[in-house]
Structure 1
Amino acid sequence: MTELLANGLSQIRRALHQIPELALQEFQTHDFLLNEVRQFNQELLTIHEIPDLPTGLLVRVAGSAPKRTIGYRADIDALPVEEETGLEFKSQYKHTMHACGHDLHMTVALGILNHFAEHQPVDNIVFFFQPAEESENGGKLAYEQGVFTDEWHLDEIYALHDTPDYAAGNLACRPGVLFAGTTEVDIKLIGKSGHAGFPHEANDMVVAASNLVVQLQTIVSRNVDPTEGGVFTIGQLQAGHIRNVIAGEAELHGTVRGFSQEMIMLIRKRIDEVCKGIELAFDCQVEVEMRQGGYLPVVNNPATTDRFINFMQQNYPDTFQISKPAMTGEDFGYLLSKIPGTMFWLGVGDTSQLHSSTFNPDEKALEPAVQKITAFLEYRMKEEN
Structure 2
Amino acid sequence: MSESWQGRTFEIEVGPVAHGGHCVSRVDGRVVFVRHALPGERVLAEVTEDAGKSFCRADAVKVLSASPQRVSPPCPVAGPGLCGGCDWQHAGADAQLDLKAAVVSEQLRRLAGIEVPVRVEALPGGLLRWRTRVRFVAGEDGRAGLRAHRSHRIVPLTDCPITTTPAVRAVLPHRWGPGNEIEVTSDANDEVHVREAGEQRLGGVAVQRAAGRQWRLSAHGFWQVHPEAAETFASVVADWAEASQGGLAWDLYAGAGLFAGVLAEQVGAHGRVLAVESDRRAVVDGEANTAGTPQVRWRRGAVERVLRDSRGRSARHHERPEVVVLDPPRKGAGAAVVEAVCRAGPQRVVYVACDPAALARDLATFAARGYRLDRLRAFDAFPMTHHVECIALLRRG
Q: TM-score, normalised by structure 1?
A: 0.25
Larger strand fraction of residues:
2
Larger helix fraction of residues:
1
Q: TM-score, normalised by structure 2?
A: 0.25
Larger Rg over CA atoms: 1
Which one scores higher on RCO, CA 8 angstroms, separation ≥ 6? 1
